[in-house]
Amino acid sequence: MQNLKSLALDLMPQQHFDSLAVGVIDFKTKKFETFEMQAEVLSTKPYLYFDLASVTKPLTNSAVCLKYPELFDESMMLLLNHRAGLPMGGLLSKNSWREQILSYEIAKSEVLYSDYSSLRCMLEIEKKSKKKLRELCSYYFDSELVHWKELPETAICPDYGWRNKKIVCGEVHDNNCFNINEFVSHAGLFATIDGLCRSLINLDNQTKMCEQLGNILPGAPKEDRFVLGFDRVMDTENTLAGKGSSNKTFGHLGFTGTSFWIDLEKMRGSVILTNATQSYWYERSGLIKLRKSLGEAIWKL
């Protein structure tokens, strides 16, 4: 871990954001190690709550699929794996977003990563189960993995940019999630690095996540980027998970600069949390280098 810390200290001056947390999970022993830094200063103990952004998707919809597979027919799997033909996304109305999302026809398509597909999957889950998504997906949440509306009063969050001429801090960065102002599946969860690591271990303990994915990944068609709603490593030589991960690696990325990856050959997890949208979001070369460099170092441990 000391080598990882040194690498992070070298990489952070090249970034246009100031907060980073890193976790390494051993799924064999169910243990993890973490560290956190802000403005190139290592914290004695991680404490920041990061906006997980689209990492919320597998922590909600995929977690339901792992626990309640009976809810997922062919159409549901298309939605979960971004193959249902729904548009990528766009601004939604606070009052009529459900009607809009439900209006789209579900038709098998090539992979098109879509917030709308994630939201439609949530609505179909709730319709089939007659329960709210939150009730179904939160069975494994650690106390430090929370919805943004329920952040502890003492929670400290990094800055994530600007909205309506105000700094976004302690509020979700995603505008649709902010406007809808409800528990939804495409964004909205916050966590400390320790809280996310504990939650991933809990999820594996309660659903045999690694075993389930291990049974599916080897036979998954090469063109299917998503499996049970998890992203997977398609090119081991050039992946944001970092060189050294195997083709049995799955996880997810978040727009705010978050990610987790789990390599089933090593039974090791890599978790990287940042506030990459702090100054601007459109230039990501520094974030890409950080993700790849830290990932590669984690797989070499």
Whether the predicted pLDDT of 40 surpasses 90: no
What is the pLDDT at residue 39?
Answer: 87
Arithmetic mean of pLDDT, 261-285? 97
- Read off the pTM: 0.97
Say what percent of the chain tops pLDDT 90: 98
Q: What are phi and psi of 190, to 5 degrees?
A: -120, 150
What is the pLDDT at residue 33?
Answer: 98
Whether the predicted pLDDT of 98 surpasses 90: yes
Arithmetic mean of pLDDT, 76-95? 97
Q: How many CB atoms lie within 10 A of CB 205?
A: 12
Give the span between the Cα atoms of 175 and 163, in whole angstroms: 9
Classify burial at 35, counting beta carbons within 10 Å of its beta carbon; exposed 0-12, middle 13-18, buried 19 or more: buried
Arithmetic mean of pLDDT, 203-223? 96
- Residue 188 in 3-state DSSP? coil
Domains in the chain, CATH or no CATH each: 2-67+140-300 (3.40.710.10)
Please give the single-letter amino acid code of residue 43. S
Whether the predicted pLDDT of 223 surpasses 90: no
Please give the single-letter amino acid code of residue 16. H
Can you spell out the DSSP letters for 47-60? -BPEE-GGGHHIII
Summarised one tens digit per residue, pLDDT across range 104-137 is: 999 999 999 999 999 999 999 999 999 999 999 9
Whether the predicted pLDDT of 6 surpasses 90: yes
